[in-house]
Homo-oligomer: A and B are copies of this chain.
Amino acid sequence: MKIIDLRFTPIAIADPPLRSSYGLHAPYALRTVVELVGEDGLVGVSEAHGGEQTLADFERAREAVVGHDVYDLARVWLAIVRTFGVTAGVDAADRSHTHVLPGESRLDVPLRVYAAIEVAALDLIGKMVDKPVCDVLGGRVRDEVPFSAYLFFKHGGGGGVGEDVRSDVWGEALTPESVVEQAIAMIAEYGFGSVKLKAGVFDPDVEIETMHALRKALGPEIPLRIDPNGAWSVETSLRVGTELAGALEYLEDPTPGLDGMAAVRRGLLASGVDLPLASNIAVTSFADVPEAVRSDAVQVILGDHHYWGGPRAVTQLGRLCETFGLGLSMHSNSHLGVSLLAMTHLAAATPGLTYACDTHYPWQHVEDEILQGGRVPIVNGAVRVPDGPGLGVDLDRDALARGRARYERCDYRSRDDAAEMCRIVDPTWKRMVPAW
């Protein structure tokens, strides 16, 4: 079926004041809803990064996409590559982008644009053939996809501004004790079987203490992860890694760059600590993988279809990880249910996925969801793979319109966690890499 139109709807969704080494989440997260319209009126949907530049990037790609058959995805990719003036293949994305937020690099624009188109195309194909997206990708190896609780140091507030202010269901969490409370509450609500802390916010000793407190409160059965987004020196990473070795299933991006990660790996092994290092910062594209393998800098890759080039690329990443004995987990940004279900279908169709996926979904609010029927259930820490056609989503047009109206009300057009950090917490704050 020929693609006759694309619709891009920018939306804003309330986002609580979550901390990371990049700064502070602003009151709205920006997303784009992409709709791919087939000639017989069927529509495929996906959810992508947001803001003005993203919208302009999508618009720029319109001519590369419209007119193609929805199955003709390889040529859609080549056309997008031509549009953005980059070389196809691994050169389409440059090497790791530690300086920017994952998924926000200008270097991976063609991959991100294509990824959103591919998801919408797979949704449309699934609807055409009455099969879930996981089956279009090659079939599922699991019926439910496990996700991990994603803990944050958090200021008070539920996100949003003015009429969009949301209730603060999780409360402030700026101490080890309150993060433990956050974990217990999140597990109680969603049944998560593994837990990740976004770190790189406070002195590493506080974050080590937090992890020990989590281990003590949650018991030995819950796998734990910590991710300071590269905020630590090699030396600090070694100290934290050694301190937490017995408590962690993996240590994520302790320090920036493949050289730094490799040094941490070597140092830990030299101390007898075989703790896997995970990354979505030192490794953000296929181009990063050979050096990561060669130097043993990374043992677990966090894939993300939104910026690795779509679900098919991530299934290929899964095979690559299996081949080289790497683990595969999944990265997340703030997102709604369309992305959650795309991640779920992809994870279901990726045998090489070896860890529960990240998701920010618990931080978003039912008022901001754009799906008919409301939020996607997470039960026992997992999302059930929908059996219906495509992604298994139907857009709630009123909710989508409200999301767009929020976008109009929102007074910024790109994500800037550092600016928000200065505005709210500390006017002199600057991102330091490494900070400790």
Which residues in A have some Cβ–Cβ distance to B below 8 Å? 69, 71-78, 88-90, 128-129, 131, 135-136, 138-141, 286-287, 289-290, 293-294, 312-313, 315-317, 319-320, 322-325, 349, 351-352
Contact = CB atoms under 8 A, between A and B. Distances in A.
Task: In the A-B complex, list the 5 residue pairs whose CB atoms are closest, starting with the nearest.
Answer: A74-B139, A71-B135, A316-B319, A73-B139, A286-B323
Contacts of A322: 89-90, 286
A393 B293 CA distance: 42
Contacts of A71: 129, 131, 135-136, 139
B139 A76 contact: yes
> Which of A78, A89, A325 is packed against the most chain B CB atoms within 10 Å?
A89
A322 B309 CA distance: 14
A42 to B, nearest CB: 13
> Which of A88, A128, A129, A319 is packed against the most chain B CB atoms within 10 Å?
A319
A323 to B, nearest CB: 4
Contacts of A136: 71
A180 to B, nearest CB: 37
Give the number of copies in the complex. 2
B286 A319 contact: yes
B323 A75 contact: no
A282 B385 CA distance: 40
Contacts of A287: 323
Contacts of A293: 290, 293
Given A139-B73, A323-B289, A351 B89 contact: yes
Contacts of A135: 69, 71-72
A164 B187 CA distance: 72
B138 A73 contact: yes
Contacts of A286: 319, 322-323
> Which of A73, A316, A320 is packed against the most chain B CB atoms within 10 Å?
A316
Contacts of A128: 129
15 contacts: A72-B139, A73-B138, A73-B139, A74-B138, A74-B139, A75-B141, A76-B139, A89-B322, A89-B351, A90-B322, A128-B129, A286-B319, A286-B323, A290-B293, A320-B323
A352 B71 CA distance: 19
A316 B320 contact: yes
